[in-house]
Amino acid sequence: MNVILASQSPRRRDLLNLIGIAHTVRPADIDETPRAGESPIACVERLARAKARRIAAGEPDALVIAADTIVVVDDHLLNKPVDTDDARRMLRILQGRRHDVYTAVCATWAGREAAGVEDTGVWFRPLDDRAIDAYIATGEPMDKAGAYGIQGYGATIVERVDGDFFTVVGLPLVRLTRLLAEIGISYDYGRLDI
């Protein structure tokens, strides 16, 4: 079965490899701007569906997997930082408190589509400006929603996770296998069966 990951995220590639799903990567170029008044859950699911549909339109026989992740604190979306000052601002907001990570997944195959959103609570330890600047200097925060990556150096600033760890990484694997079943594909530990 031809499987396409509609994402350029190396973390999502790693997670599909982890569970034995061979795939090719074809990022979907879409406008990721949130709509006025759109809830975080509606936004992240809309984006995952749009990515999957964009790639599926040109690959109707492929299984397309798409995902989108956003970080929310106090009803404010924290997307990828635009520069180091923006990353610093985000990390100052997140330090010493809880925030939510929403990851939506969409799977399409043979004209079928299923999508869903996972919500995971994450708590950061308190961080002073020196710790924030040292983390930013690693370069890790710059391409990640909320300016951190839990699977790298950012693991040292996360005190607690309430929910699916893989949601925070960017691809909730249990949700993915459920969505595959909804569109008629069973996951059998590294094998996909119709």
Angle at 54 between CA 12 and CA 144, to 5 degrees: 35
For the beta carbon of residue 89, count every other beta carbon within 10 angstroms: 15
For the beta carbon of residue 109, count every other beta carbon within 10 angstroms: 24
Residue 164 a catalytic site member:
no
For the beta carbon of residue 125, count every other beta carbon within 10 angstroms: 13
Q: Of residues 14, 29, 68, 75, which has the active-site annotation? A: 68
Local structure of residue 121 (DSSP, 8 states)? E
Cα separation, 50 vs 62, whole angstroms: 16
Active site positions, annotated: 68
